[in-house]
Amino acid sequence: MLMHEPSCIEVNLTAIDHNMAAIRRLVGPDCRLCPIVKADAYGLGAARIARRLSTAGADLVAVYSLPQASELGLASAQQASQGTLAPVPILVLMPISEIRPGDETSRMLVDGRLQLTVHDLEHLEALSAIADQHETTIPVHVEVDTGMSRGGARPEDAAKVLERIASDPRFRLKGVFTHFSNSRTDRATTDGQLATFDRLLTQCAALIPADALIHVASTYALFRHPRYHRSMVRFGLAWAGFGLEELDGGELPFGEDNFRPCLRWRSRVVQIKRIPVGTPVGYGSRWTASRPSTIGLVPVGYADGFPVFRPLDDGGTEKGTQKIAVLREVQRGARTEMVREFAPVIGTVNMDQITVDLTDLDLLSQPRGGVGMTVEIVSPDASAPNHLPRLASRSGMIPHEMLCRMHSRIPRLYVVDGAMEESTTPAVTESRVTSGRAAAG
């Protein structure tokens, strides 16, 4: 654990390597990989994650905005100057109307490391001005709106965009893509969007170079069927080891055993107290001890991104009980082993702290009576009640949202083969992390 910091989020880079290799096997050697690392790689650290994804076989990485691209560009340029890693191109998904000369993104554009998305004819005019200003050819991907009704051009307008690009030397068409609205749960809608997209590709075949990338599959479509793979797949949750838990009706022989969730959020018990029968706990006295109870205090709360299970719409009970894992020391002969046990969160989730019921745990043998015990807020074990997709679902979120809500004040530790490679925080006292426990306790 970090000095003076009771909580941290471990990002297992070895798990990301494993997931990238599994995706490569799934799509085959001729399909390119484009991991999505927008929103600071879902809060896990875009510069560090993108570097690992590049070494793991990413052909392209995608972000949403220019500032996100600039951050990655600066990091990859530094790595390239050190001879450690050649930068991969970065695709910006947001409609961009200006790139200032002298910016990092300006240098990336001129160097051919930045690829932009075209959303409609009006947007293409803005990109023409950027090409003129920077005296360069812009590599572009055309987004086709086949039913998401978000970014991109409707098929009839996309055809005009493709025609204009084919006749304008200021642009080089690098890809054509669409984004599915219901690929997690609705195969019929997804196939309808794909059919619309394919009609456009057929109609505009003469305008699309043979080496242009065709990409439609996000994480869920990636797992659904090979017909969605095309020449490149775009995926976010998949590189992190999530996504299969939510997929309805996937047809590929690809199970959760092929994936390794990369995230573990841990903290410590900082106080333990005993309370008598009838004692209320927390704001609103929503939990009352029905027996003499042992209560532990853990310094994480909703300000950190800890999920809150909201009451049901009908005013009924909570959507189940939140649980965290407690790692308790057990002496087995001459060996000390760590046992993982689950304890319910009780009372109201606070801004910076939660209380857990430790009554059923044997704390008498623990150092300091259990104060300082490691707890797992989020477990990488897909069968655990505190696995991230399960926590997100039961609190009314999707996994992407819960990942992004984990506050940046929580240090991120990057772990490779059990050893901590680096941290977002300089004050590090721990040199090794394992899946079962921290070496420092």
**pLDDT confidence of residue 163:** 98
Distance separating alpha carbons of residues 38 and 218, to the nearest angstrom: 14
pLDDT in tens, 219-243: 999 999 999 999 999 999 999 999 8
The residue count of the chain comes to 441
Spatial distance between the Cα atoms of 341 and 325, rounded to a whole number of angstroms: 5
Question: Of 218, 267, 239, 231, which is closest to residue 46 (Cα–Cα)?
Answer: 239
pLDDT at 100: 94
Nearest to 186 by CA among 268, 249, 264, 265: 249
| 414 Cβ neighbours under 8 A, 6+ residues apart | 11, 13, 45, 48, 420, 421, 422, 423
Distance CA 176, CA 34 (A): 14
Residues whose CB falls within 8 Å of the CB of residue 198, separated by 6 or more in sequence, listed in order: none
**Whole-number percent of the chain with pLDDT over 70:** 89
Instruction: Give tens-digit pLDDT for 293-341.
Output: 999 999 999 999 999 876 544 333 444 579 999 998 787 777 888 899 9
What mean pLDDT comes out for the span 244-267?
83
In this predicted structure, what is the pLDDT of residue 193? 98
- Residue, of 15 and 4, whose pLDDT is higher: 15
| pLDDT tens-place string over residues 345-363 | 999 999 999 999 999 998 8
Q: What is the pLDDT of residue 424?
A: 66
Q: Average pLDDT for residues 89-100, to the nearest whole number?
A: 97
pLDDT tens across 72-93, in order?
999 887 776 666 667 899 999 9
Exposed, middle or buried by CB within 10 Å (0-12, 13-18, 19+), for 314? exposed
pLDDT value of residue 253: 66
- Do the Cβ atoms of 350 and 302 come closer than 8 Å? yes
Q: In this predicted structure, what is the pLDDT of residue 437?
A: 31
pLDDT at 282 over 90: yes
What's the pLDDT score for residue 249?
A: 75
- pLDDT class for 287, splitting at 50, 70, 90? very high
Q: Decide: helix, strand or coil at residue 191.
A: helix
Mean of all residue pLDDT scores within the chain:
89
pLDDT score, position 334: 78
Confidence of residue 1 (pLDDT cuts 50, 70, 90): very low
Residue 402's Cβ-side half-sphere holds a number of Cα atoms within 13 Å equal to 24
Q: What is the pLDDT of residue 256?
A: 66
pLDDT in tens, 371-421: 999 999 999 999 999 999 999 988 889 999 999 999 999 999 999 988 887
